[in-house]
A and B are shown apart, each in its own frame.
Chain A
Amino acid sequence: MDRRAFVRLLAATPLSSAFVVPKASSRNIPNYKLVSPYKVAAAPGIPGPYPGKVISVKSANCLDASGDHINAEIVAQMMTRGMTELTGDKDVRDSWRRFIAPGDVVGIKVNVGGYPWVISSPEVVNECIRNLMAIGLKPNQIYIYERFQSQMDEANYQRLVPEGIQIHAAEGRNERADNRRYDPAVYAEASFFGEEDTRSNMMRLISQRLTKIINIPNMKDHGATGVTGCLKNIAYGGFSNVARTHQHGVTHTYSFVPTLVTMEPLRSKVVLNIMDGLRGCWHGGPFARTKKYVFYPKQLWFGTDPVAQDKLLIDVIDAERKRHNAISIWDRNEKTLDFINGRNRDKDPNVNIIIREPAHVDYAAKLGLGIADLKQIRLKEFEI
């Protein structure tokens, strides 16, 4: 996209419309101004070479009986099976070479908001790193990144990964005080609720340093998007000033999450999505401070199409909610809303802090980011 190109997606949002929960059929989509000097790659990473294809590898033995401990050896087997089934190669190194070259600088986008129970598992991250090094990357070519250093400190990936792996965060804490690690030349601008700062800037690490990104989200519920899957992880996990899209029970994640994913060079650089479903969380997301809402899918998903994975994820989370007699993530009843006290949401799975917008996944498909039609999604399931 040309610098300062102006994208008008649909009609403008009146600033004063913030306090009414919109019906799904009448959402307003703000005017987005997308600014980036970067051009789309000849073959952008999203949706990549395998649109609509999702490989699921399950193992009953990937966790111990308590669910607290992950078996790294089993995870390694799951990763090998998943990657080779995705690409059709016999040697897993050939599978990785389809996405990554020895000269690449690779960012592993983790999700650590669900610490301690539902984060991108260090065992999965470490297995990624092992495979990257097996095809010739040096540790200093590999970054593990998130937005907030305070969250990365909790997750403490350093304890498992090889020395020399770069740990990177854009901000110290979630306080909106650190902006220098965001790229001032790459941003999406929109006014959602009349906020003064209308820009969300891409992390400089993404725009200026990395050449490829591997996305490792979790199987999580999310209070705004419905699920914290692939799209949300790379969008809100790579740009500044995104919390402004939620206010008083209303969220603009429906359009903003997919819009951010369309931005270059992010879209071109994300080449692989590995959904970490060893553990999941069916309510209270993106956080998982207690095990109250944790469940155990014991699986990993592999693919290049983030939309297809997220479409399947919606059903996984909603099925688990149904199993616990909780309201659906599609529920738009304003009576479920309590945006004043977030603790009530944490106590009761039938309380929402925001009317969720899981249809952002369908909107992403409209923007060409992947396949959301379940009839076209090819899920292949394996068990080891």
Chain B
Amino acid sequence: MKFLAFLLPLIFWSGGIETAPALKQAGIERIAVASDKADAWRKAGFEVVPMAEAELTARTKLLPPGAAGRPGLAAATGRPWVDANGWQFTRNPTGKFYYDLPKGRAVLAVAESSAYNGDAVLKIDPADVAEVGKMLAFLKTIPASPNLPLIADIGVIDDGSKLVGEVMNLLSRRNLLFKPVKTPSSQLKLNIQLGTKSYPKAAAADPSEFAQTVRRQLTDEARMIRIYGSEVVVARLTGDDKRIRLHLLNYGRREFDGVRIRLQGVFGKSEALVSGHGKTTLEDFAVIGQTTEFSIARMSTYAVIDLPRAK
């Protein structure tokens, strides 16, 4: 079986050579280091990508991914604020990105960049080395798959503006699956072009409300994916006429016990690969009409589910 090693996110490491044992113990074998330190790290047995700090910061900077609650509301909605970068990878699949990550945020960033197959370099806090190593080891267990096309409900005509970017951000966080398109596509259920009569730019001034409007237009029933049991798990979906691959990223700070997924389409039963748990049975699997539902028993940071389309 082939694995995804060639897509593993790259760790930018500014620590001295004396930190090599810690990296090795964590299973981190490939790093980006300053050019003048590259030879020393190669001699220490690492696969090295020489990279100056300026080269790193010339890349597009991403947010440390995660979620924060909204304290202070006596009757809070329970919907936390999610910082996610999936829309950036989706908008610019050939882009070069980097993360500058505070302590405790690296593991999710590793998973995120891998889920979106992004070219990302991650500057991490040394305290996170062991956990990052575990996530990288998990990524190596994910079977290789051909470059499956992105599955989306919505086409967003991208004019390159910040406003459209913010719309993409909100759509992504709400699991309203989109893909950037140059012109409206009849293959998609909905096409959004800001500045048109249907979608005036003023309507996008509040991206959150705009995303709700799009959701109402699309309807929940028609959405390719719904996620129940969490407001902080974000999906990426790829596939063709034979199979799909579903990536699930948990932006919250703790595991969810029993996240329920509903997919449009009829699929055969399979298993999930879940970080920290390995192969996991899909619980309460059910085909209901033209939809398929199942639960992930323990939703840690990252899960990958390959499902065959039923004939």
Contacts and interface: CB of A to CB of B under 8 A. Distances in A.
B202 interface: no
B54 interface: no
A193 interface: yes
B72 A341 contact: yes
A37 B259 CA distance: 21
A189 to B, nearest CB: 9
B74 A195 contact: no
B73 interface: yes
Nearest to A341: B74
Contacts, number: 91
A342 B74 contact: yes
Contacts of B257: 177-180
B1 interface: no
Nearest to B215: A194
Interface stretch (A86-94, A117-125, A242-250, A290-298): A242-250
A232 interface: no
A367 interface: no
Contact of A340 (B72, B252, B260): B72
B228 A345 contact: no
A68 to B, nearest CB: 29
Contacts of A241: 229
Interface string B62-100: 000000000011110111000000000000000000000
Interface size class of B (residues with CB under 8 A): 35 or more
Given A178-B257, A179-B258, A194 B212 contact: yes
A321 B283 CA distance: 49
Q: Is the interface of A mostly helix, strand, loop or mixed?
A: loop
A196 to B, nearest CB: 5
Nearest to B293: A184
Interface string A218-245: 0000000000000000000000110110
A191 interface: yes
Contacts of A243: 75, 78
A197 B259 CA distance: 11
A198 interface: yes
B75 A193 contact: no
Max chain B Cβ within 10 angstroms of own Cβ: one of A175, A180, A199, A251: A180
B78 A340 contact: no
B249 to A, nearest CB: 15
A196 B297 contact: no
Most buried by B among A175, A184, A185, A246: A184
A340 B76 CA distance: 9
B259 A179 contact: yes
A244 B260 CA distance: 18
B231 interface: yes
Contacts of A26: none
B233 to A, nearest CB: 9
A182 B75 contact: no
B227 interface: yes
A338 interface: yes
Contacts of B73: 248, 339-340
Given A180-B257, A182-B258, A198 B220 contact: yes
A305 B256 CA distance: 37
B188 interface: no
A25 interface: no
A322 to B, nearest CB: 24
Interface in A52-102: none
B292 interface: no
A196 B227 contact: yes
Interface string B208-235: 0100100110001000000111110000
B5 interface: no
B72 A244 contact: no
B256 A177 contact: yes
B68 to A, nearest CB: 14
B297 A180 contact: yes
Interface in A302-360: 338-342, 345, 353-354
A90 B111 CA distance: 68
28 contacts: A15-B212, A175-B254, A176-B229, A176-B230, A176-B231, A179-B228, A179-B257, A179-B295, A180-B257, A180-B258, A180-B297, A184-B284, A184-B286, A195-B78, A195-B231, A196-B175, A196-B231, A197-B228, A197-B230, A241-B229, A243-B75, A244-B77, A248-B73, A248-B75, A340-B73, A341-B72, A345-B74, A353-B75
Interface of B: 72-75, 77-79, 174-175, 209, 212, 215-216, 220, 227-231, 252, 254-260, 283-284, 286, 288-289, 293, 295, 297
Given A244-B77, A340-B72, 14 more contacts: A4-B288, A4-B289, A16-B209, A177-B255, A178-B256, A195-B79, A195-B231, A240-B229, A247-B75, A251-B75, A339-B75, A342-B74, A353-B74, A354-B75
Closest 7 pairs between A and B when the two form their complex, measured CB to CB: A179-B258, A180-B258, A342-B74, A179-B229, A246-B75, A178-B257, A353-B74
